């Protein structure tokens, strides 16, 4: 059985972390933080933007800012074919 997240990584998805700063209407002077993490495709981030659209529609909190970090965990440069034998004494 193959892990679903590993298959997504092979398709180019990488781990995306978003720091979402927001204000709630009951405490407008208090800036709060929500951390979101999911596998997504950079640089378009369709999964993140779907979540942010959901946030704007369904959650009663005004977005202040979003900071994004992304790492493509499986990359072509990590796979290297080695041809030859090295003997160590």
pLDDT in tens, 26-71: 999 999 999 999 999 989 999 999 999 999 999 999 999 999 999 8
Which residue blocks in the chain are alpha helix, DSSP H? 4-10, 46-58
pLDDT in tens, 4-13: 888 888 888 8
What pTM was estimated for this model as a whole?
A: 0.75
* 88 assigned to some structural domain: no
* 28 assigned to some structural domain: yes
* 85 assigned to some structural domain: no
* 89 assigned to some structural domain: no
* 83 assigned to some structural domain: no
* 20 assigned to some structural domain: yes
Provide the number of structural domains found in the chain.
Answer: 1
Contact present, 72 and 12 (Cβ < 8 Å): yes
The boundaries of the domain holding residue 14 are 4-78
Contact present, 73 and 8 (Cβ < 8 Å): no
**Tokens representing 48?**
């993140």
């Amino acid at each position: 059985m193959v892990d679903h997240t590993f298959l997504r990584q092979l398709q180019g998805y990488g781990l995306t972390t978003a720091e979402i700063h927001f204000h709630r209407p009951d405490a407008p002077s208090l800036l709060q933080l929500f951390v979101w993490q999911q596998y997504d495709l950079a640089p378009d981030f369709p999964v993140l933007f779907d979540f942010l659209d959901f946030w704007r529609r369904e959650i009663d909190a005004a977005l202040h800012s979003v900071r994004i970090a992304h790492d493509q965990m499986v990359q072509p440069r990590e796979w290297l074919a080695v041809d030859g034998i090295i003997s160590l004494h």
